[in-house]
Amino acid sequence: MKRPLTGVSAAERIRASARVLFYNNGIRSVGVEEIVQNAGVTKPSLYRAYESKDGLVAVYLDEFFLTCRKRFEEAEAACPDDPRGQLLFYFDGLAERASHPAYRGCGLTNAILEFPNREHPIRREAARLKQAMADWISSRVMLLGKRDPEVLTSGLVLLMEGAFVAGQAFAPPGPGTHAGMVARLMLDA
């Protein structure tokens, strides 16, 4: 068992442990025992804080989405009043992330792939959060006044999801490293 960090609550250690393990190894392959051992806590601590592994997974998905939301906010702050610049800022950052050897794609996409039953609560939550990501892209595209904004949005969402998966499927740097350039081509078409 790992030695607990001083001043960090058991719930925070569990959450941090789960975040790393779920992202690197997958949700289904990680058991409660591995999470608590890695966090340096006991199983009852996990159940007190999260009620179940599924409750902990829901927190993981929400936190992963907050990271995505932060990237959108950074794009908006970097390119105020410039939706094209915001999209390119996001896709340039995605290209950089997707080219790193430790990149495991999007935790939300990974959860959707791990839970093929569309009615599973984890799948539904991950899909809801993925839709919020697509909605952000759509909101930027709508501000551009482009012809066929739905088609452009769909293309950019496909590019985003492709970069998430390509970052895992191909040896670094892989095709995801060109996400920003491909977004430029799409936006300029």
What stretches of 40-169 adopt beta strand conformation (E)? none
Per-domain residue ranges for the chain? 1-51, 60-188
DSSP single-letter state for residue 87: H
The token duo for 147 is: 């012809």
Distance from C-alpha of 149 to C-alpha of 115, rounded to nearest angstrom: 31
DSSP single-letter state for residue 29: T
User: Average per-residue pLDDT in the chain?
Assistant: 94
CB 149 within 8 A of CB 141: yes
What CATH number is given for 60-188 in this structure? 1.10.357.10
Half-sphere exposure in the Cβ direction for 117 (13 Å, CA)? 4
Q: What is the pLDDT of residues 108-165, one digit of tens each?
A: 999 999 999 999 999 999 999 999 999 999 999 999 999 999 999 999 999 999 999 9
Q: What is the pLDDT of residues 139-154, one digit of tens each?
A: 999 999 999 999 999 9
1-51, what's its fold? Answer: Arc Repressor Mutant, subunit A (1.10.10)
Would you say residue 7 has pLDDT above 90?
no
Q: What is the pLDDT of residues 27-74, one digit of tens each?
A: 999 999 999 999 999 999 999 999 999 999 999 999 999 999 999 999
